[in-house]
């Protein structure tokens, strides 16, 4: 009787260990595959990933108002599907913000996020930089319709265009930023920058007088070189 009881206890112990290991392995594998359990609602869901490519690198990321840390791959993993408000901040720079959707099992990727200096550093332009204004031409694939609508020419062989954005006020002097992910224009208060969907309309250079104003960007996008009434200057913008 004692031997039978000991054998039964041994079997029960092994059964318990196997069951515990199986449950642990199940949760570990589920976590690795991006699944999470919502204990509050007793539901099981597949998470999503948010990937952010930010310049400058030392910026802070806030998700629904809470400071979060990106991993080494510049992403946030295991996010519950849904809508989030993202803000990216750095002292001395303008805010970047966007409402984003995280989908189950997918990566929501936002690349070429640029923060621009809130107060650009005004510098003296070189003679070589000033000389470029002699041959400065408009970007042929950016089209200003009327004085308030930006369109992008998507086929060089015809006149087919797609809308970027439109404004309730007059703009002029539209140009590509070097990364081709941002578009600059002169608005009511100065030189501004938007993303390709019109989001994050940011003032990068205040202008009291916009008459005779023209500009271009350095190849690395760190500076805007501008001319106004024959005077050429440059400003560090990021």
When pLDDT is averaged across residues 100-105 and rounded to a whole number, the result is 92
Name the burial class of residue 15, with classes exposed (0-12), middle (13-18) and buried (19+) by CB atoms within 10 angstroms of its CB: exposed
Within 10 A of 55 (CB to CB), how many other CB atoms are there?
14
73 — pLDDT class (breaks 50, 70, 90): confident
Residues in contact with 99: Cβ distance below 8 Å, sequence separation at least 6, in sequence order: 83, 84, 85, 86
**CA gap 204, 234 in Å, rounded:** 12
| Tens of pLDDT, residues 203-231 | 999 998 888 899 999 999 999 999 988 89
Three-state DSSP class for 195? Answer: strand
Residue 2: per-residue pLDDT? 62
Residue 130: per-residue pLDDT? 96
**CA gap 80, 130 in Å, rounded:** 52
Residue 29: per-residue pLDDT? 46
| Tens of pLDDT, residues 124-174 | 999 999 999 999 999 999 999 999 999 999 887 778 899 999 999 999 999
Strands (E), 39-141: 43-46, 48-55, 60-63, 66-68, 75-79, 82-89, 96-102, 107-114, 121-124
Query: Are domains 44-114 and 121-236 of this chain identical in fold?
Result: no
- Measured in residues, the chain has a length of 238
Residue 23: per-residue pLDDT? 44
Which CATH code of 2.30.40.10, 3.20.20.140, 2.120.10.30, 3.30.1360.200 fits the domain covering 121-236? Answer: 2.120.10.30
Judged against a pLDDT cut of 50, whether residue 27 lies above it is answered with: no
Alpha-helical regions (H) of the chain: 2-32, 127-131
Residue 230: per-residue pLDDT? 82
Percent of the chain at pLDDT above 90? 69
Q: Regarding the domain delimited by 44-114, which CATH topology (the fold level of the hierarchy) does it fall under? A: Immunoglobulin-like (2.60.40)
| Tens of pLDDT, residues 176-191 | 999 999 999 999 999 9
Of 45, 37, 111, nearest to 81 (Cα)?
Answer: 45
Tokens encoding 218: 């350095």
Residue 192: per-residue pLDDT? 98
Handedness of CA 145, 177, 237, 226 (dihedral sign): negative
For the chain, which residues make up each domain, given as ranges? Answer: 2-33, 44-114, 121-236
């Amino acid at each position: 009787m004692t031997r039978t009881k000991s054998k039964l206890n041994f079997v029960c112990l092994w059964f318990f260990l196997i069951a515990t290991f199986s449950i642990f392995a199940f949760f570990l594998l589920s976590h690795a595959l991006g699944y999470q359990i919502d204990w509050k609602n007793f539901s099981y869901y597949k998470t999503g990933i948010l990937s952010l490519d930010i310049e400058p690198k030392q910026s802070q990321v806030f998700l629904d108002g809470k400071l979060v840390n990106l991993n080494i791959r510049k992403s946030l993993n295991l996010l519950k599907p849904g809508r989030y408000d993202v803000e990216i901040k750095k002292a001395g720079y303008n805010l970047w913000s966007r409402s984003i959707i995280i989908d189950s099992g997918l990566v929501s990727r936002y690349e070429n996020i640029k923060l621009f200096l809130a107060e650009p550093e005004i510098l003296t332009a070189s003679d070589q930089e000033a000389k470029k204004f002699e041959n400065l031409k408009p970007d042929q694939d950016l089209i200003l319709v009327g004085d308030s609508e930006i369109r992008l020419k998507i086929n060089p062989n015809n006149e087919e265009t797609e809308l970027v954005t439109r404004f309730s006020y007059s703009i002029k002097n539209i140009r590509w930023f070097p990364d081709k992910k941002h578009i600059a224009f002169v608005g009511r208060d100065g030189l501004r920058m938007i993303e390709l969907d019109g989001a994050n309309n940011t003032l990068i250079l205040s202008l009291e007088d916009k008459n005779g104003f023209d500009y271009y960007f350095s190849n690395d996008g760190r500076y805007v070189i501008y001319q106004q009434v024959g005077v050429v200057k440059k400003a560090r913008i990021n």
